[in-house]
Chains A and B, each alone.
Chain A
Amino acid sequence: MGWLDWLRAPKRPDAVEGELFDEAFQRKLEYLAVASRRLFAGRLRAERRTRISGSGIEFADHRAYTPGDDLRALDWSVYGRTERLLVKRFEEEEDLTIAIVLDVSGSMGFGGRARFDHARRLAAAMAYVALSNLDRVTLIAVSTKVERRLPPARGKGQIFKVFEFLRGLKPGGETALAEAARTLGAELKRRGVAIVVSDLYDPAGFERGINALRYQKFEPMVIHVTDARDADPGARGDVLLVDAESGDGREVTLTPALVAKFRDAHAHWRREVEGFCKSRRVAYAPADVEGALEDQVLNLFRRSGLVD
């Protein structure tokens, strides 16, 4: 075969959609479900508590009375002792809602489909584990806005809807996690855990996106999808660096020194992300596209507040 024939030969597709959630992957999910059950050992459905309502039976704490509060909730005994109006708060037992926020911006499709496929598999794994624990799971695909949403569902049987939802996603557009979080807050009535699966390449700053989720009363967790190739573009010499999302270009002479400097800057940025999450008590798990998916999922569970 000549080189012309080689050029004309049809290229192998990056990933065949049918192979995204193949049998091996589904077996891996079963393993994850079992492993996560061990982590959740002793806990029953509806055991997780929130403090957002006062209609439970187990006392939690007090807060100051504000006009409009239910007078039945006033703690008269405290008033009698201290003459302060305090409202009793009770922990309400309810199903946990887990919102899996998947970044589908253009950068997630960078360098072929490996990164996006890995992120989708991570999202599917998280959803399966949650569904196995009878939690309420919803999936939200975001870029600058909420692109698509899978309504909350319960039970393992819903995993195929999750697969179908994930298969239908295509990367594109820019990243604006904060905007998407605000929309999500408005659309989703029930608050709960929000697992962000993203490369966090947000021009406005990844911090704003995570903070926005926190301000919307979500309990955010971050799966940071990373790729070692992001730190080195591979090329040298006079090049035009083009942003995968915005298409903005910048002329640069890539020297080995500059590339090394960028590599340092990239590592520093990753440390910044991790430090930010730690400081805000946000569960954080890096997930390299070349890494083992099950380890990354279990790692997040271990770091999260979902398990002790």
Chain B
Amino acid sequence: MEWLGLAPAQLAWTGALAGAAVVGLYLLRQRRRRVLVPFAPLWARVLEERPSARLFERLRRLLSLLLQLVLLALLVFALGDPRPAGASRRGRTTVLLLDGSASMSATDLPGGRATAAREAARRIVRAMGPDDRMLVAQMDAEVTALTPLTDDSTALEAAVTAYRPRDTGLDLSRALRFARDVLRGNAHGEVIVVGDGAYPPVAPDVTTAGAALRFVGVGRRGRNLGLTAFSARRYPLDRSRCEAMVELQSWSDRPESVVLTVSVDGAPIERARLRVAPGERVQRVIERLSGGGERLEARIAFEDGTRDDLPVDDVAYATLPERRRARVLSVGEGNRYLEAALLLDEYLEVVEATPATAAAALGQGRYDVVISDGVAVTVPPGVGWISLRPPIDGSPRPVEPGLFSAPAGGAIGFDRVDRRHPVTRFTSDLEEAHIGRVARYRLTPADRVLGSGSAGPLLVAGEREGGGRFVLFTFDVRESDVALLVSWPVMLINAIDWFAGEDGSFQSSYRTGTAWRMPVPAGEREATVETPSGRRVRVPVMEGRAVFFGAEAGFHRLHAGGSHTLVAGNLIDPDESACAPRATLSVGTTRATAPLPGRPGLRREWWVALLAAAALIVVAEWATWHRRVTV
């Protein structure tokens, strides 16, 4: 006899623990029900006459314990799935890998490739021998076991029916490693792959480890044009417009004419007719797209009205960051360099004030940013603050007395610039600056010096006590040529964007089959992703980003902190777009063969008999109890 379910050691532990629990409960005895009688001495008359009956009751209770232990033993044995000796050695252990990648949604076969794959898998399940066992798994960018190793053909067929391709690529190496781990220790292991065979090469270390490799090819042809890249961004200085980059590639064996349409919030804003040669890759940058929407969609269609075999890569999605007009209060005696720089961004609403009117202006309206130019201002908590050489009594950080000039014959310049920070991004000419005098501030360890020179820090960014960010220029712009550089307005607009939380690293779309790390509002621990099919998934937040494995192309909604943002997911996988099926499959030097039917015979499963015996005992116990035989 051999055990195909739990191992003997596991059975022994299970039986011992459960048996101990049964005996323990027996010893503890069931708490007796209280029954009130009007006159107990009358009962005493009856009970004193039956000493032999008490002995019989004890025996009957012992019988009850034995009955429970027998039931337990039958159930534990059934868990072990005992079989006649050698049954499993005769049978095969199969891992059936169903290709669930995006290319399986191709429509070159009636009902699609997935339908054909299901039919092929069902035929394989039905051809199993009585001693064969099988595990069904779906492979795409991940591997998902749909059943345990079982010989239950009903469960296996149900898993095959439940299989659905996803909008992701395929990681065959991962799937074969999974199969190898499942088959470890099984003498007659085999791996059956059902799919279109259009797979990228597997990693060199991946083998089937002695297991037979079988392959059932699905698919007829692969006429396809697919979008292989799509991204969009708003212009930093003109947020009402954006530009998009589209790349498409042809896997058709003849030249194709397609129409590329780009839409914003469902309204087409760009249409281009393209002729693509076989294997050709075409890139288009579509500039100055108008429209203030968030949803960007690129779609290709054959000019002659026909459709290619893989629709999922004919459309790509992207999102644009939300446009928001920032309110800026500029307090100072007048600085034309500053005014000119702020005029460059039409999405700024700038209010100018003198030091005398600053308090009244702050009291009247809610501002996102306050710029203080050499004057003291009380900036409310939570508001961004750009401070241009502040005086001693009105600075984000304490100021040391005096100003420091450049040594004779030299000038102060930006010797070191930290361009990883959003404020200094795209400031290519900052090192060319010449500065006359700088003030020195006592910074905290949390402050970040973005630019420094021989006289110390020149540009500092940090967080204010009580909330809000600040950017501190330690010099007077008018005593330098910084205002003449391209970096000057860029730094100001970067700083305003940074205050507003607009991230320059905004990602317009994510690729399916990968882990998406999406920014969420600060302090959130959990988020919910609503997929295009309407499924809601709770996802963890790590380091300020919600982590989600995207497997569906389209617009997703990320809910966190009472608000939601749009997230786009695209297939963008040339390996999947190259969906022409292949008739063979090779892993290393192993070439896959066709599946073989199982050896005919009679299935002998003892667990059925064990459960039937347990059920019989339960029925007998029930009947005798209700007939008051064992009460």
Contacts and interface: CB of A to CB of B under 8 A. Distances in A.
B39 A107 contact: yes
A266 interface: yes
A246 interface: yes
Interface in B29-49: 30, 32-47
A228 interface: no
Interface in A99-145: 107, 110-111
Contacts of B32: 238-240, 251
Interface string B45-67: 11100100100010000000000
A111 B38 contact: yes
A242 B34 contact: yes
A199 B42 CA distance: 13
A233 B628 contact: no
B35 A240 contact: yes
A112 to B, nearest CB: 11
A84 interface: no
B631 interface: yes
Contacts of B57: 253
Contacts of B40: 241-243, 246, 248, 250
Nearest to A199: B38
Contacts of A237: 33, 631
Interface residues of A, number: 37
The 5 closest A-B pairs by CB, nearest first: A243-B40, A201-B39, A110-B38, A240-B32, A107-B38
Interface of A: 107, 110-111, 199, 201, 203, 227, 230, 233-246, 248-256, 258, 261-262, 265-266, 269
A261 B47 CA distance: 10
A265 B39 contact: no
A262 B46 contact: yes
B33 A240 contact: yes
Given A230-B38, A244-B38, A256-B628, A239 B44 contact: no
A249 B44 contact: no
A252 B53 CA distance: 11
A255 B50 contact: no
A236 B46 contact: no
A236 B41 CA distance: 19
A117 to B, nearest CB: 15
> Which of B30, B37, B46, B47 has the most A CB atoms < 10 Å from its CB?
B37
A262 B35 CA distance: 15
Contacts of B41: 203, 243
B30 A238 contact: yes
A239 B35 contact: yes
> Which of B38, B43, B50 has the most A CB atoms < 10 Å from its CB?
B38
Given A201-B39, A246-B40, A250-B40, A240 B34 contact: yes
A262 B39 contact: no
Contacts of A110: 36-38
Contacts of A254: 35, 631
A250 B47 contact: yes
A173 to B, nearest CB: 14
A242 to B, nearest CB: 5
Contacts of B30: 238
Nearest to B45: A265
A43 B416 CA distance: 135
Given A236-B628, A241-B40, A253-B631, A265 B35 contact: no
A105 to B, nearest CB: 10
5 contacts: A110-B36, A233-B37, A242-B37, A252-B43, A253-B57
B39 A243 contact: yes
B33 A235 contact: yes
Contacts of A266: 42
Nearest to B30: A238
A201 B43 CA distance: 12
Contact of B37 (A199, A241, A253, A265): A241
Given A110-B38, A199-B38, A236-B628, A262 B43 contact: yes
Given A201-B38, A250-B43, A252-B43, 10 more contacts: A107-B38, A201-B39, A230-B38, A234-B35, A236-B628, A239-B33, A239-B35, A241-B40, A258-B53, A265-B45
